[in-house]
A and B are shown apart, each in its own frame.
Chain A
Amino acid sequence: MTCEDAHSHMHDYISGELSPEHHEPLMNHLEECGSCRALFNQTRLLQTAIKDFMQYETPPELQTAVSRILMGV
């Protein structure tokens, strides 16, 4: 696997979209290539940060308003 292939596959892996047949070649490449491994770790860390930091708490008044809409009030 080339570094370019690894870059493409690592995003799909992080998204949970990589085909099973590409898993092992990707992992083997990441074990051998320090540069791609660093990029992979950073991208995975970035995805976790995005997921954690982009959450918003629903205001209680909105929950009430939506419940009223569903009840047809």
Chain B
Amino acid sequence: MTSDKKQIFEQEILSHLDRLYGYAMHLCRNSDDASDLVQDTYVSALRYEKQYSIGTNAGAWLFTIMRNTFLNKMRSKNRKPVGLAGEWIEELSRKDISELRKLGPDPSVQMLDDLLKEDIREAIDNLPKEFRDTVVLCDVQGFSYMEIASILDIPIGTVRSRIHRGRNILRHLLAEWKNIAKEGR
């Protein structure tokens, strides 16, 4: 790579630093591990820079590297990603939207007007991992369904379905918490 191209490449990947740190926080849940993961991602990006064509999708490429780096770290530590959901959320996730509606009037209609940042973060942390990944990449990071399919290496139809269900589970989860808070008053 010529020095001009190298400079363009470095500027391009540096422009994604904030998004990468956000995704690393989502994966690691603490700032020290997230910072390490970001640095490892940039080291790998430099190592594999020949695989990248300038002007193509640097964001999706870097997020794929970060996710793979994270999974390799987890494997090497023989640890499972944290934040797996409780049984009732798993049960909800298996239901279709129509089945969700059979649970009764949608309590989420009255909610969300006074949500706290902590509620949102905790609700996302409690989503089953496969739903959490897709919702974060779509709603926080702003990737398209096709880009998410590429990053997570899953079919686009699965991406769509996980985003739909993930958001529905979040709405129900937040509504449930709000009802509990109301009853506790």
Which residues of chain B are within 8 angstroms of A47 by Cβ–Cβ distance? 139, 167
Indicate whether A33 reaches chain B with its CB closer than 8 angstroms: no
Given contacts A46-B112, A46-B170, contact A54 B121 (CB under 8 A): yes
Say whether chain A's binding surface is mostly helix, strand, loop, or mixed: helix
A11 and B117 CA atoms in complex are apart in Å by 22
Q: Is the CB of B163 within 8 A of A11?
A: yes
Q: What 1/0 flags go to A31-68 for Cβ under 8 Å of B?
A: 00000001100110111011101111111011101110
Tally of chain A residues near chain B (CB < 8 A): 33
Which residues of chain A are within 8 angstroms of B115 by Cβ–Cβ distance? 49
Indicate whether B25 reaches chain A with its CB closer than 8 angstroms: yes
Which residues of chain A are within 8 angstroms of B129 by Cβ–Cβ distance? none
Q: Is the CB of B109 within 8 A of A42?
A: yes
Q: What 1/0 flags go to B144-185 for Cβ under 8 Å of A?
A: 110000000000000010011001001100100000000000
Which residues of chain B are within 8 angstroms of A16 by Cβ–Cβ distance? 144
A60 CB to nearest chain B CB (Å): 11
Tally of chain B residues near chain A (CB < 8 A): 44
Which residues of chain A are within 8 angstroms of B22 by Cβ–Cβ distance? 54-56
Closest Cβ neighbor of A69 among chain B residues: B42
A50 partner, pick from B14, B21, B139, beta carbons under 8 A:
B139
Given contacts A11-B167, A51-B140, contact A39 B46 (CB under 8 A): no
A13 and B76 CA atoms in complex are apart in Å by 40
Indicate whether B108 reaches chain A with its CB closer than 8 angstroms: yes
Identify which of residues 5-63 in chain B touch chain A, using a CB-to-CB cut-off of 8 Å.
Answer: 10, 13-14, 17-18, 21-22, 25-26, 31, 34-35, 38-39, 42-43, 46
A46 and B120 CA atoms in complex are apart in Å by 9
Given contacts A54-B22, A63-B17, contact A15 B109 (CB under 8 A): no
Which residues of chain A are within 8 angstroms of B31 by Cβ–Cβ distance? 59
Which residues of chain A are within 8 angstroms of B3 by Cβ–Cβ distance? none
A70 and B44 CA atoms in complex are apart in Å by 11
Indicate whether A8 reaches chain B with its CB closer than 8 angstroms: yes
Please name 13 pairs of A and B residues whose Cβ atoms are closer than 8 Å in the assembled complex, sorted by A. Answer: A7-B164, A16-B144, A42-B111, A42-B171, A49-B112, A50-B120, A55-B22, A56-B25, A56-B34, A59-B21, A65-B39, A69-B42, A69-B43
**Could you tell me which A residues sit within 8 Å of B by CB distance?**
4, 7-8, 11-12, 15-17, 38-39, 42-43, 45-47, 49-51, 53-59, 61-63, 65-67, 69-70
